[in-house]
């Protein structure tokens, strides 16, 4: 056998071996045992979503996803949905390709007792629209961290602004929204919110201006207003 044929045979064997041993990047869920450090910085206003295993990947945009009452005189940008969008972007790191697979969500818990989590996450129709992620509404649970009844919508504090996402492989992410410097909510914002919700007309106009600025702040990149505080396995 000639030297050329031997060399060619070796090259073919090496290429075949490399091809079989390297099937490409995996796309599945990570587990707590993977020891992957979640990055608490968002540098994009897009979220890739897959709603069915046999479906097509959709790309959601921040600006489109946070609009309430689209095409009407009362169209506005929703702060609650803006936060949910950022939570989803951070949680998408649980998949190795960064695509948020809604059918692999077992449950989403939060203390944020408004319609916002349902309007963004769930398949419940509210104001004539279904949530962007279309996760079954029964999987969205609003309550205190210890399982008690959620805080009144008029009295929410930063202690209520958390999200716990459990995946079908029992991986659990706990995310905490920040306030103050570099946080989502400016200092005093949630206190003013409660005052307005409880009927204080004097603070309503300045609060609405501050709310508009706050939504704009969540839109700015890079975004660092939410922290993944815990990665664990559901017991």
- The predicted-structure confidence for 23-73, as pLDDT tens digits, reads as follows 333 468 887 677 567 899 999 999 999 999 999 999 999 999 999 887 788
**pLDDT, position 12:** 35
Q: Is residue 81 part of a domain?
A: yes
Q: Give the range of the structural domain holding residue 47, as residue numbers without chain letter.
A: 26-233
Do the domain assignments include residue 16? Answer: no
> What parts of the chain have a pLDDT lower than 70?
1-27, 32, 35-36, 235
The reported pLDDT for the residue numbered 31 is 76
Long-range contacts of 191-198 (CB under 8 A, 24+ apart): 193/156, 194/154, 194/155, 194/156, 197/153, 197/154, 197/155, 198/154, 198/155
Residue 55 lies in a domain: yes
**117 lies in a domain?**
yes
Peptide bond into 26 cis (omega under 30): no
- On whether residue 64 sits in a domain, the answer given is yes
Q: Does 70 reside within a domain?
A: yes
Identify the pLDDT of residue 24. Answer: 34
Q: Residue 207 has which token pair?
A: 């609060």
Does the residue 132 lie in any domain?
A: yes
Residue 14 lies in a domain: no
Q: How many domains is the chain built from? A: 1
């Amino acid at each position: 056998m000639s030297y050329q044929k031997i060399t060619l045979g070796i090259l073919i064997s090496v290429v075949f071996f490399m091809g079989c041993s390297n099937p490409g990047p995996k796309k599945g869920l990570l587990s707590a045992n993977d020891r992957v450090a979640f990055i608490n910085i968002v540098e994009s206003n897009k979220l890739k979503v897959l709603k069915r295993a046999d479906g097509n990947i959709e790309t959601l945009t921040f600006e489109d996803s946070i609009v309430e009452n689209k095409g009407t005189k009362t169209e506005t940008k929703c702060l609650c949905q803006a936060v949910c969008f950022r939570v989803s972007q951070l949680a998408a790191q649980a998949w190795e390709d960064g695509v948020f697979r809604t059918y692999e969500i077992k449950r989403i818990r939060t203390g944020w007792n408004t319609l916002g989590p349902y309007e963004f996450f769930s398949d419940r129709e509210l104001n004539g629209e279904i949530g962007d992620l279309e996760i079954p509404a029964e999987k969205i649970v609003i309550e205190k961290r210890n399982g008690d009844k959620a805080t009144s919508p008029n009295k929410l504090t930063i202690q209520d602004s958390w999200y716990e996402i459990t995946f079908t492989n029992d991986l659990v992410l706990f995310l905490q929204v920040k306030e103050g410097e570099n946080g989502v909510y400016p200092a005093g914002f949630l206190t003013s919110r409660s005052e307005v919700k409880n009927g204080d007309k004097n603070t309503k106009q300045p609060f609405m201006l501050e709310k508009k600025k706050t939504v704009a702040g969540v839109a700015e990149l890079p975004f660092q207003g939410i922290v993944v505080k815990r990665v664990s396995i559901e017991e």
